[in-house]
Amino acid sequence: MLRQLLRGAALSLVTTAAMAAAPDATLQASLQKVADQARPGTLGVLVMDPATGQSVSVNASRPYLMMSTFKAPIAAAVLSQVDAGKLTLDHKVHLTPSDIVDGSAVPSVGATLKAGARDFTVDELLHGAVTQSDNTAVDALLRVIGGGSVATRFLEGNGVRGMRIDMGEGELSRLFETKGVDAVLASHVDSTTPEAAAAFLRKLQAGELLSADSTRKLLGLMTAQVIPNRIRAGLPAGYQLADKTGTSGTRDGRMAAFNDIGIITAPDGQQRIVVVLLAEARATPEQATTWFAEIGKLVAASM
């Protein structure tokens, strides 16, 4: 009798484990189908349950060019200096028209500077960099903290390995012009693996990188970011996303990078970390956007 009970219990455990694994297996297969559509480009995807650390992924071991997704970890490095008392949010940074770096999701810091030099607070620059994806703002913040190597050391010191920040938007743009897309991608500058991006987001969400106030601030800036498409476009009503996008633009019909990383929160409070990084795709931004929206829809359905 005891043997039969034990056998029944074991069978129940196996069945329960199989049922628990089934959604992940289904999601894995669905993500692979989306990634296949991006060929000959490479679509890297990682979806993680931050409560358990369990994840499913596709093409997740290689590095991808971050572009503006690096603005979230740079903002974290800045806020870590605020937490340490080395900076304050109201610290003034003087910028002139010569500091303008083209690129912003909306008229922001760079556009304001066209009227002439002015001072910006660190708080204003954080809002410009993360929420409005302003390149002038993020390059100014990098200078304030001492450069990309400082941001990288902050990440590595907190256990985020595989994400590197080498330079700002202006220098990267010049590198594209002088060296070309292939050379930039081969150098792995300003790059991350999906695993590293997920680790950054998980540690941020868990309060392991910053103080409680700074954590809330950065997640709030990410939630308010102004680009409404990509992962966000696929989420049902009531789902929230704190994310940062990144785009290289298209050259000769090829996108070097088209990205979105973030934390989805369902109406019931469940969360998923989602990293979607697209490299060297021969697709229009509109086509890539549909892939990202589909991934958002698939993840929400799996929660």
Predicted confidence pLDDT, tens digits, the chain (303 residues): 434 433 444 433 333 333 334 458 899 999 999 999 999 999 999 999 999 999 999 999 899 999 999 999 999 999 999 999 999 999 999 999 999 999 888 888 999 999 999 999 999 999 999 999 999 999 999 999 999 999 999 999 999 999 999 999 999 999 999 999 999 999 999 999 999 999 999 999 999 999 999 999 999 999 999 999 999 999 999 999 999 999 997 877 789 999 999 999 999 999 999 999 999 999 999 999 999 999 999 999 999
The answer to whether residue 5 sits within a structural domain is no
Of the residues 55, 68, 104, 133, which is catalytic?
Answer: 68
What was the pLDDT predicted at 93? 98
The answer to whether residue 266 sits within a structural domain is yes
What was the pLDDT predicted at 23? 52
Look up 104 and say whether it is catalytic: no
Which residues, 6+ apart, have CB-to-CB distance to 288 below 8 Å? 38, 255, 258, 278, 281
| Chain centre to alpha carbon of residue 39 | 22
The answer to whether residue 4 sits within a structural domain is no
Residue 161 belongs to domain spanning: 25-302
The structural domain count of the chain equals: 1
The answer to whether residue 226 sits within a structural domain is yes
The answer to whether residue 20 sits within a structural domain is no
What was the pLDDT predicted at 131? 97
115-118's contacts with Cβ under 8 Å and 24+ in sequence apart are 118/94
What was the pLDDT predicted at 1? 43
The count of residues in the chain is 303
What was the pLDDT predicted at 250? 80
pTM: 0.91
Of the residues 149, 156, 171, 302, which is catalytic?
Answer: 171
Residue 181 · residue 54 · CB < 8 Å: no
Look up 248 and say whether it is catalytic: no
The answer to whether residue 59 sits within a structural domain is yes
Distance CA 152, CA 65 (A): 15
Give the CATH number of the domain where residue 298 resides. 3.40.710.10
The answer to whether residue 7 sits within a structural domain is no
The answer to whether residue 2 sits within a structural domain is no
